[in-house]
Chain A
Amino acid sequence: MGVRMELNPPITPPPTRLAILKAASMVRTFPQISGVSFQLARQQTQAESSSHDTQAGSLCHLRVVLSLLLVLFGCCRVLGEHPERRVSLVNDVVPVLTKAGCNAGTCHAKAGNGQNGFQLSLLGFEPKEDFDHLLKEGRGRRISLASPEASLMLQKASGEMPHGGGVRLPSDSEGYALLRDWIRQGAFYDGDSAPKLVSIEIQPKRATIQPNGQLQISAFANYSDDSQRDVTRLALYESNEKSMAEVSEFGLVKILDIPGKVAVMVRYQGSVAVFNASVPQGAPVESVPPSKNFVDDLLFANLKELGIPPSPLCDDSTFIRRAALDIAGRLPTVEESQRLLTSQDSNKRAYYIDSLLQNPEYADYFANKWTAMLKNRRDDASDITSNFAFYSWVRDGLLANKPYDQMVRELLAATGTVMGNPPVAWYKRVKEPKQQLEDVAQLFLGVRMQCAQCHHHPFEKWSQDDYYSLAAFFSQVGRKPTSTRGEDMIFHKRGVAGLANIKTGTVLKPAALGDTINSIAADEDPRLKLADWMASPTNPFFAKAVVNRYWKHFFRRGLIDPEDDIRDTNPPTNPELLAALEKHFIESGFDLKELVRVIANSNAYQLSSVPNDFNAADQQNYSRFYFRRLPAEVLLDAIDDLAGSQTDFPNLPPGTRAIALPDNSYNNGSPFLKVFGRPENESVCECERVQSSSLAQSLHLMNAGDIKAKLATANGRSDRLSQTDKPLEERIQELYHVAFSREPSANEMSFSMEYLVTNKAEPVSKERFQDLIWALINTKEFLFNH
């Protein structure tokens, strides 16, 4: 790397440019002017001569004259002084605008027409466009070469004139001075000649910082001419976990009091870098639960490194409820609970996990998860057949434990009719190549490509070319009509795959993310090549994305979070663990059940959710189980299980569980599912499912008619318990076993007895049992997986 430079150092033209300048007429005309100034004038002339805009041409002509005058004036002024550094639009002005937020998506880079008619390219990715917007629009008022301070751009930014965005560049700021100097020097475009930004570096790259400590990080930009510039004050900083670390405008990282790993993304003109901080708790970790597999090895090692003692292992009651809810989406049966609680077998938890994986409800539950993200949505009554077929295809694949890479391959490269080959239904929902690429990238690769459709990805390395190259895999998807309304037959349409970058018009051939694909013949279905690439053991995204997604399913938070936003600037909290999971998954042959097995069998998964004296603040190192509310469908089924009721869904057999609903259409008739956030299957993001709690949910559980109806179901549990001859204690025990998979405590038993028995001479009324069930449903212990 070259010599480190000061902020805004003078730029010396490289020899090749000097050679050109010597031949230029202006050199002959004004031999006394310095080479730098000649270069500016020459470039300006070239820029203007290439313009086809006559109005802009006359403006430029005027500007040339003014420039020359200014240059002459400047030269006279600086004769005998150091030559003034030329201010670069690309490397000085645009970064200032970016730092000031002028070209943010919410401001002048807003899609459409920018802000108040003034448009800038997003984050300065298109300097030539910015130059045109500044110089050629706004009736020339934005830039005043004759009187730079009178430029509308400066007056607005400094607050001298009213500005909707407020004061962005005070008149005494460095940024203001830089912009003013650029204008004073002639407001030249130098996009073709200025050194190109190659990368940015930060120092330090990683550090261990104690809670409530702070550290200044520095950013350096590397250019194509091997020069380097300190851009600490111009770079943008963002913490990936604001509850753990805050970053000042100029890169001062302030750590708060939550232990773990935090990253700070540093952005500068399309380049990104990341600073990783490790924040130790520093508590003594005297012991951790025994390791059952590599998950435990790596997770507990991380806790030791951070000094976060884990909570102890959970008891069997907690485990069985947790495992059943997470794997089969249901409460454990009373028989299952009692069998496990009374078993002395040291492997009983592993056996139970295996039994859950053999249970069709595992397939139901995970099919529910996947089909939501695959947009199995009913927009028309006639969608029912394809939706059921598609749901069943996913469900049967999970039941048969079809390798994950095979399932994805069958989906991506689906051909034929929906009834003949149900994954074709995905192409009914996701019709355009761009949408197909975005969904595939986000769902199966964990990469969000949407931004790159219109501009370089601001947080990533992905360009528009990367976007359209990936979309090109879907460019040869052919369609033929069928006799079924709204459905097409899908096939590979012969032809060389390619898709045009809408900005450049260049037709791009299929290319994988960050990788090359051998040329694809016209007869070959490019989607099969994409599937080949995805399933390659060396693919950096495919396995990582799904193990991270499944990790989140069991631990509430992904090792990378959000789980579908994998990028260098959003690093995993435990990279070694993520890598080991990825490796294990690939070596298992993309075996999803094995992935569940290895996670659920770890002691890391079986920790108690009760915090100890040191790990209450931990939110990302899994030193305890992070409890979470039951998903809408699981909660509805759990209430039915406890109340002895069932929910009837239109056109489905009585007793169909909510976790087995094939599409979103059942939300319409179920206020419960809506209130508790069942998704409408419109998004590829799991975030469409609302997992937060709300007042409406509380009110629904307390008062809603459907809950009351369930409690009072004829032949339901309250009916049955009020009519049985069993001792009252046994009946109360049954309720606690169903609800919590445990015995009631002495207090709970006595309280329940006291409530139920109002008159010893009379049997307990069913209403009293309804009340008790209602109370159990409304406990956090019931509503949460803990």
Chain B
Amino acid sequence: MNSTFLGESSHNFPARSTLFAWFVVLSLSVLSPTAQAQSVCLPMPRLLTTMPMGGSSGTQVDVTITGENIEGANAMLFNHPGLTALPKLDANSQPVPNTFTVAISKECPTGVYESRVVSKLGISSSRVFSVDTLPEVQQTPNTSLAKSMELGVNSICNAVMTAKSVDHYSFQAKKNQRIVVFCSARGIDSKLDPVVIIADESGRDLVAERRGDILDFTAKSDGQHIIKVHELTFKGGPAFFYRLYLQDIGIDSAAPQFASTKTVSSFSWPPKGFVANTFIAESEPNNLGSQSQKISLPCDIAGAFFPAADVDTFEFTATKGDVWWVEVASERLGRPTDPSILVQHVSVENGIEKLTDVAEFSDIASPMKPSSNGYAYDGPPYDGGSTDILSKLEIKHDGIHRLQLRDLFGGTRVDTRNVYRMVFRRAAPDFALAAWGLHMELRNGDRNALSKPLALRCGSTVALEVVAVRRDGFNGDIQLELQGLPDGVSAQGLKIPAGKSRGIMLITANQDAPPCISKLSFHGKSSIEGEDVTRPVHMAQMAWPIVDAWGEIPSPRLMDDIMLSVSNSEYAPISIAVQEKTVIEGIVGEKLKIPLVHTKRLDFSGSVLQLKALGDGFEQIPRFDVSLDAATSEATVDLAALKTLPGEYNLAFYGSAVVKYKPKPDAAPRDVAEIVITEPISIRVKPSEKK
């Protein structure tokens, strides 16, 4: 599945020159994180910071941007029509570099949005842009108590943390005034793990919040108070930006919720047809069996893991042979919980209640085994699973059943916000889909490549790995489909086969594709109980390129949209495609020869590219070498060995190579590791005529 450069088994050893080139690359990587960041994958446009990171609805704000490979960016795009941007012009009507004037319409709701810029390499990766209703300010130097920046209550400050520093803000509060301070950071793509402290006017700490949560504070006296903000481990720099909210609220008001990005696991919630406002409320006390809350199935229950070590017990009657599906959402609602269910059958023997275990449920398994965060990837660095529950309950005996729902992480925590939804339903087969850029299995390597925009070079083919969480026993094929492709761009899905959880989407920009930007619509399709069903594919991406995932926790999230661009400012180093772009035909049991044509545009380090197959039923094709110096090559598919049945199939081959990349024509080439993927290959396997 994944290509490997070092650590391959000896029988499949890459060419010595390739190894040497990799050794050079990796040695440089060890010596210099910067060098490593530059050496893995071709340059991609990445928007990394904006200042400010948001604005107030109904205002205009000048936004300064920084990023990688976005020099000369001339457009800034958002995923909401209420957000528009134009390059900022100076007094001479010339664009101010890296600055845009963003207009936020009054109608633009409070929330977080995707913002991107367009440069010569195409559309950049996204950075969150927040919209709120409170007035906003930007930080002035405030790294000491003496330099505290005064902040008005009910305002937002956009700021950047300096390494080894503590930012100080002052505000006035009245005795018994309830103040909420919130430092929005991880939820807006920042690397900051914020610590927020409220101190008295002389800087003596009063209360602290270190988990990225709100700090709910009631002033004990009139006067000036200090807010201190720092990174948990005192890291800092441009990536450590934050928005500090200072709000007063009523004594009895619920604490406000602040918008943030969604975790990858949340792609599987809610199920189709879920109605948020229709539910049965959990009724305390229900910790003990004798206090069980009586329910009838099906049902939809809303409750909370509160107080500490809370157990919510429900009782229902069921009939032997009944099959129910139970789904619990809490972690996918953004709460740090781990729901667990125990179902027991209740009987009475000699006047004594007897409980017999029927089922235990916990966790939604990741569709693919995620990387164990070792030195090299051994799976995708995204976990599509959840600590929530999605399980099948089979009733084995008639009668009363008792269900205990608890939070395995809730033994000592007291937090009313740890809510859940528990849905009992008859089987409603369905699926949910997520996708991310295909990664390389490179030792401690391509983490910086995780933050990948779909900015295609002409002649390139990129691959997205698509995973499915199957709901309620759905087991069918899932076809993948991209819509909204611009001219010159084609896409081919390699389906998620029946019973499996992984597929691939291949996107190819022709060599002569015109430059463009397009919003895509990505779906999976299947037939469920005779009906065609279409479900969205949610794109996931790392918020940041990460050089060292051991030292820095990767921060994946879901995107709200999928944007694609094609650029002809640079071309793919090599394109490999079928010689005649037609369906290759073969006979069952025979060996199928696939002629490939190479269009090489850059030099490579080494002369051999090792390829392996993508596509269900073909991934067992042995790896094979093709010459990077040759204009053509041939792939062989042993249909007998693969036991391929008659039918039509799609597949592709991919591998990794070290490109001699020149950022400018007159620059010295440098080694860059890159995934090389062939254009999709369609084959038709016909029955044998020997019958």
Partners in one complex: yes
Using a CB–CB cutoff of 8 Å, the interface residues on chain A facing chain B are: 358-360, 363, 381-382, 384-385, 388-389, 392-393, 396, 399-400, 409-410, 413-417, 419-422, 478, 480-481, 483-485, 489, 491-492, 494, 523, 525, 527-528, 651-654
Q: Are A385 and B232 in contact (CB under 8 A)?
A: yes
State in angstroms the CA–CA spacing of A71 and B255 once bound together.
90
In angstroms, Cα B387 to Cα A782, docked, is 56
CB distance from B419 to the nearest CB of A (A): 16
Residues of B within 8 A of A484 (CB): 373, 553
Q: Is the CB of A653 within 8 A of B233?
A: no
Chain B contacts for A393, CB-based, 8 A: 210
Q: Given A388-B233, A483-B383, verify A523-B195 contact (CB < 8 Å).
A: no
Contact of A651 among B233, B360, B373 (CB under 8 A): B233
Identify the closest chain B residue to A423 (Cβ). B412
Q: Is the CB of B409 within 8 A of A396?
A: no
B204 contacts across to A, CB distance below 8 A: 358-360
Contact, CB under 8 Å: A392 / B360: no
**Is there contact, CB below 8 Å, between A651 and B234?**
yes
Q: Is A415 in contact with B411, judged by CB distance below 8 angstroms?
A: yes
Chain B residue contacts of A389, Cβ below 8 A: 210, 232
Q: Do the beta carbons of A421 and B383 come within 8 Å of each other? A: no
B164 within 8 A of partner (CB): yes
Complex Cα spacing A492 to B551, Å:
28
Q: B222: CB under 8 A from chain A? A: no
Q: Which residue of B lies closest to A381 (CB)?
A: B551
If the complex has contacts A483-B383, A523-B406, A652-B164, are A409 and B232 also in contact, measured as CB distance less than 8 A? no
A389 to B363, CA, bound (A): 26
Q: Please list 22 pairs of residues, one from A and one from B, whose beta carbons are closer than 8 Å in the complex, sorted by A's number.
A: A360-B205, A392-B232, A396-B210, A413-B412, A415-B413, A419-B211, A484-B373, A485-B373, A485-B550, A491-B338, A491-B408, A491-B409, A492-B411, A494-B360, A523-B311, A523-B342, A525-B309, A528-B412, A651-B163, A651-B233, A653-B165, A653-B234
B333 to chain A, nearest CB (A): 14
Does B298 sit within 8 A of A, measured CB to CB? no
Q: A415-B410, A420-B211, A485-B373 are in contact. Are A385 and B553 (CB under 8 A)?
A: yes
Count contacts between A and B, CB distance < 8 Å.
109
Name 4 extra pairs, CB < 8 A, besides A399-B207, A652-B164: A385-B232, A421-B409, A491-B409, A523-B311
In Å, the complex CA distance between A385 and B340 comes to: 28
Find chain B residues with CB under 8 A from A419 CB. 193, 211-212
Judging by beta carbons under 8 Å apart, are B164 and A651 in contact? yes
Q: Is B166 an interface residue when CB atoms closer than 8 A count as contact?
A: yes
Tell me the complex Cα distance, A775–B383, Å: 62
Which residues of chain B in 161-180 are interfacial with respect to chain A, using CB atoms and an 8 Å cutoff?
163-166
Q: Which residue of B lies closest to A491 (CB)?
A: B408
Is B445 located at the chain interface by the 8 A CB criterion?
no
Contact A415 B383 (CB under 8 A): no
Binary contact readout B530-556 vs A (1 if CB under 8 angstroms, 0 otherwise): 000000000000000000011101100
How long is the Cα–Cα vector from A652 to B408 in the complex, in angstroms?
35
A residues less than 8 Å from B233 (CB atoms)? 384-385, 388, 651
Q: Check B413 against A421 for contact (C-beta < 8 Å).
A: yes
Compute how far the CA of A468 lies from the CA of B363 in the bound complex, rounded to whole angstroms: 31
Residue of B nearest to A360 (CB): B205
Tell me, yes or no, whether B404 is within 8 Å of chain A by CB: yes
CA distance A528 to B413 in the complex (A): 12
A729 vs B370: C-alpha distance when bound (angstroms): 71
Docked pose: A399 CA to B373 CA in angstroms: 36
Q: Which of B393-414 contact A (CB under 8 A)?
A: 404, 406, 408-413
Which residues of B pack against A, CB within 8 Å?
A: 163-166, 193, 195, 204-205, 207-208, 210-212, 230, 232-235, 309, 311, 336, 338, 340, 342, 360, 363, 370, 372-373, 381, 383, 387, 404, 406, 408-413, 549-551, 553-554
A-B pairs, top 7 by smallest CB distance, nearest first, are: A416-B409, A491-B408, A420-B336, A360-B205, A415-B409, A413-B411, A410-B412
Give which listed residue, B230, B338, B370, contacts A416 with CB less than 8 A: B338
Contacts of A363 in B (CB 8 A): 205
Cα separation A264 to B377 with both chains bound (whole Å): 62
Known: A419-B193, A651-B164. A483 touches B553 (CB 8 A): yes
Nearest-CB distance from A478 to chain B (Å)?
A: 8
- Least distance between A757 CB and chain B CB atoms (Å): 36
B334 to chain A, nearest CB (A): 12
CB-nearest residue of chain A to B406: A523
Question: Hey, which chain A residues are within 8 Å of B383, CB to CB?
Answer: 483
Q: A525 — nearest CB in chain B belongs to which residue?
A: B411
> With A483-B383, A523-B311 as given contacts, are A409 and B373 in contact (CB-CB < 8 Å)?
no
CB of B307, distance to nearest CB on chain A (Å): 13
- Known A-B contacts A385-B193, A392-B195, A483-B554; the reply to A415 vs B408 at CB < 8 A is yes
Q: CA–CA, A384 to B381, complex, Å?
A: 22
Q: How far is the CA of A523 from the CA of B406 in the complex (A)?
A: 9
Residues of B within 8 A of A358 (CB): 204
Whether B342 lies near A494 (C-beta < 8 A) is yes
Residues A417 and B208 in contact in the complex (CB < 8 Å), given A528-B309, A654-B164: no
Chain A residues with CB under 8 Å of B411's CB are 413-415, 492, 525, 527-528
B550 touches A416 (CB 8 A): no
Contacts A396-B210, A528-B411 given; does A483 touch B232 at CB 8 Å: no
**Chain B residue with the shortest CB-CB distance to A409:** B412
In the complex, A409→B412 CA distance in Å?
7
Complex Cα gap A415–B336 (Å): 10
Residues of A near B409 (CB, < 8 A) are 415-417, 420-421, 489, 491
The residues of B that contact A417 with a CB separation of less than 8 Å are: 336, 409
Closest residue to B404 on the A side, CB-wise?
A523
A527 CA to B553 CA, complexed, in Å: 30
What chain A residues lie within 8 Å of B363 (beta carbons)?
A: 480
Looking at B193, B210, B409, B550, the one whose CB has the most chain A CB atoms below 10 A away is: B409
Partner of A388, one of B165, B232, B360: B232
Nearest chain B CB to A413's CB is how many angstroms away?
A: 5
Q: Which residues of A contact B550 (CB under 8 A)?
A: 381-382, 485
Q: Chain B nearest CB: distance from A129 CB in Å?
A: 42
- The docked-state distance in angstroms from the alpha carbon of A415 to that of B166 is 30
A399 neighbours in B (Cβ, 8 Å): 205, 207-208
User: How long is the Cα–Cα vector from A422 to B210 in the complex, in angstroms?
Assistant: 10
Min C-beta distance of B527 to chain A, whole Å: 36
Residues of A within 8 A of B553 (CB): 385, 483-484
Please determine whether A396 and B211 come into contact, CB atoms closer than 8 angstroms.
no
Residue numbers in A under 8 Å from B309 (CB-CB): 525, 528
Complex: A421 Cα to B165 Cα, angstroms = 24
Residues of the A chain whose Cβ atoms lie less than 8 Å from the Cβ of B208: 392, 396, 399
Q: Which residues of A contact B342 (CB under 8 A)?
A: 494, 523
**Chain A nearest CB: distance from B187 CB in Å?**
14
* Most chain B Cβ neighbours within 10 Å, of A396, A415, A421, A523: A415
Report the Cα distance A304→B211, complex, angstroms. 53
Chain B residues with CB under 8 Å of A491's CB are 338, 408-409
| Nearest-Cβ distance from residue A737 to partner chain B, whole angstroms | 21
CB distance from B73 to the nearest CB of A (A): 32
Chain A residue contacts of B406, Cβ below 8 A: 523
Task: Quote the shortest CB–CB distance from A414 to chain B (angstroms).
Answer: 7
Give A325 Cβ to nearest chain B Cβ, in Å: 19
- In the complex, what distance in Å separates the CA atom of A494 from the CA atom of B360? 9
Report Cα–Cα, A381/B360, bound state, in Å: 38
Q: Are A483 and B210 interface neighbours, CB within 8 A?
A: no
Of A359, A410, A413, A494, most buried by chain B (CB within 10 Å of CB) is A494
Cβ-closest chain B residue relative to A654: B164
Most buried by A among B165, B207, B404, B410: B410
In the complex, what's the smallest C-beta–C-beta distance from A393 to chain B, in angstroms?
Answer: 7
Name the distance in Å between A416's Cβ and chain B's nearest Cβ: 4
CA distance A393 to B232 in the complex (A): 11
- Chain A residue, CB-CB nearest to B370: A483
- Name the residue of chain A whose CB is nearest to the CB of B373: A485
Contacts of B163 in A (CB 8 A): 651
Cα-based distance from A489 to B413 in the complex (angstroms): 15
Q: Within the assembled complex, what's the spacing in Å between the Cα atoms of A492 and B212?
A: 25
